[in-house]
Structure 1
Amino acid sequence: MTSAPFNAAPAKTRAPGSAGPSARATRLSAGMRLRRYLRGTLRLETSATRLEKQVRDYVTVTLELFWKRQTIYAAAALLCGFYYDLQVAVFCYLFIQFTEFCDTWLSLRIVKWKGGSLREARRYRDLLLLSAVQSTAAIVVWAGIVAYMEGISSHFMPLFFLFAAGLFAAVNNHQIPQILLVRLIMYAGVFLYIPIADILKVMPPIQSFLWLQLFTVVFVLFFVVECSIIFLRLYRRGLDQLDELRLERDRVQAAYEVKSQFVSVVSHELRTPLTSINGALGLLRTGAYDSDPAKARNILEIAHKNSVRLSALINDLLDLQKIESGQMSYDFDELDLVSIVEESLAAMESFAQTYGITFVLFAPEEMVIVQADRDRLHQVLDNLLSNAIKFSRRGEQVEVRVVLRGQRVLVEVQDHGIGIPPNSREKVFGKFSQVDSSDRRSHGGTGLGLCIAQEIMAAHGGAVDYTSKLGEGSTFVIDFPFKD
């Protein structure tokens, strides 16, 4: 293989005073740290359920405080019209009423909202943010105009009006951090601009009351920001506790559903063989077949099969308990996988014949050595083979393949039966669950086999998976690490 010569590009000269890579990296890292801090403090990213609650809480408070805001605006308009200028008061009051109309209309629309996706919740949050920008702009414009008409003075009314608005936002707008942040930034901007503009016009000495006014404004801003953080944290703590309660409720509900499935499946699987055993023993006890030993033997065979079925059910439950408690023991040894598969096929041959199913094995001639527990591996293979037999159509073949693929060895069990519907993976590998869990299902079982098989293969460093097409059949695959 030939390689092309590497031509280094000529180094570019950097203009004096231009920012180098280290300076850009510093600005980038500072920006990332600020973004992470804001995201951690405000938690701008949230789930659909949480964001929906935030939006609804915000809207609820907005509508509840409607008449209180109207009273404040009316009183402020009267003071402005009487002491300053009537036209300015009317203009600013109408501007605020327009923003109130938009805010109330949007809030009422959200009240009728039936909930939805995260995208829809974000859209309503963004609309509320736009509405909040409008109403905040109306307030700061009002305060700014009044301060301008006052000239160089203490600006008590506009500054107090802005302080009250900021405190009102801290107490009542903490449900949506973006809205709270935008309001505080806009209020703080005008709050600082009013005393700073007076200082820049007069340039007074530090002993002037104008400087004292600026320092007081900074102190008040710190107080408002601190109040906002406190209320925001309290609200977030409440949301966190609500999320924890919701998760606990979901866990309890899931546990209840598993318990219900357990009782339903186990009672069904116990009742059927027990009824058959009791019936067979009852017939033999009456002596009805004393004169016909062949029929008596047939009844005993049926009772024996059902007792084996009960034993398998109990073994599955015990294995599940061992797995969940971490007490499942394994006796690993070097085994020939092909021989293990052949043994499982021989053990399942009579069961396959009752369903009219034949096995076809495709395997390499050489030995395929794996590190495994013989009994547990037989348990997994027997489960896959019995499922393939039960869900195949009479007269079909079940194909079993042993395949070497890189450093892994695969055992594929393919049937040509009814197949598995899409999106059924949780039911296939779930506890006490079956794809067809109705009382009319044609095949029994606890729904534990594949769940246990998956845990056993995980302990072997392998896995169980499947592919299926409804109406055409399924292929279950187990894979191991290959031992050279």
Structure 2
Amino acid sequence: MQKPEIGTVRFASARLRCARVPVAVDQAMIASRFIHLEPSDPKRLLKHLQDYSRAVMTLTWQRQGIFAAVAILTGSFFEPWKAALFFTVCMSCELVDLWLAQKVERIESDDAKSTRYAFSGFILNTIVSGLAISVYAVWVGVSESGVGMFTALFCLFAGALYAALNNHQIATALAIRLVFYGVSFLLITVRDLWVYRPPLSSDMWLQFFTVIFVMYFLIDCSLGFLRMYREGVKRLEDLEIEHERAKAALVLKSQFVAVVSHELRTPLTSIKGSLDLINSGKFGEFSPQAQTLLQLAARNSCRLADLVDDLLDLQKIEEGQMKFEKETVDVRRFVADAVQSHQGLAERYKVSLNLDIDAAAPVFVHADPSRLGQVLANIISNAAKFSPDHGDVDVWFNVTQGRVRINVRDQGVGIPDGSEELVFGRFSQIDSSDQRHFGGTGLGMNISREIMTAIGGTIDYVSEVGKGSTFFIELPCTTVLDTSRTVEATEAVSASSEPDHPIAATARN
């Protein structure tokens, strides 16, 4: 390139000094902004170091590949020993970064001293790495009459952009790299301006102002990524605080429910027992009006007792304190006992409770009979409540593919499609008017689902609006060694498919 005329030197030199001053001031301001954003809280600083360390360990092979490619490319066209020295220094910094990253993963949240040491180590290593990259880029950019300028500028641009994308977790480290790369940008471009003193119309000034624009772009991108990262960390911290508050509120609510429920259970038991004793007639006959009021009080005391039991069960489930005592259960006897014990309920709701069992081989499951009975009782109770007067509630079981299914079918109004969340949700029923008409807390089916999940079973239903619903529970069959024979429950698969529905027990009103 030809040297420009001497007459233009003073003007170009003055413009150069004017351009260099604001750039240096801007870099100082940017660096101070980065350092000011560095967190003073050791726990927050450790969080930033951990995020930085994860980026280091995740992208280590990518960075090493980049350094190797740059060293091979520049070593092929320039002096190989300098490329080898550059690669050696960069690989040494990579090893130090990996070592520090592994140490950070083992730092406890309250170890402020180790956190500061790790932070200082990352900063010192960043200084060495950034200085090595910058010096090598400047040497490539000014060597051989500027042949390597484009390669050097592109490498600096790529390095700054990479730092903005992946090193924004530690603002100081990002600022150090941007300052080193920015100074290198200026040294490479300003050298030609100083040596050749071109006029403003020269393309060398176009290159210089393009570099200024690129530097502004890189700084703006870096600040944007840093801002987004800090905002994300702040939102995560806010979520963690709200999560802790929610956990504390849940514990407080559970304790309140447990205390209130236990305090209510004692007087309710006395009230219910007294009302049952009065209604038994042992204290003489009462007027019809008094009898009606006493029966109403007895029913409501039962509802309150059921509510207290449901709340206690819900509290145990939430805290994981519900205990299960599993044993081998004869499904045929279990279902027959459940139907027999609910005949009084069927009479009260004016429905027929039918037990349908065929003559198949005995079927056994491994479950908690008390909790399993609670689930079946809740299903039978709902079927009786929602069936019309003089309707039928059928109970039977069948075995398929080693699993036993206990079914309860009613003749109610049915359940609309897509109502699973309402059926098995808490404090919910399909129609709020049903709750007022039939009573109930809306907790029974939710508790039943939790119980079935805990004992290794499932609960579900099939329904058709206007024709009724069939609720069923499923459990895996088990093998029972009897004194006289070994009964394989899975052998019942071929013996029991759909039952023939012989009615073994009915209660009709």
TM range (shorter): 0.3 to 0.5
Q: TM-score, normalised by structure 1?
A: 0.47
Q: TM-score, normalised by structure 2?
A: 0.45
Which structure has the greater CA radius of gyration? 2
Q: Which has the higher contact order (CA 8 A, sep 6+)?
A: 2
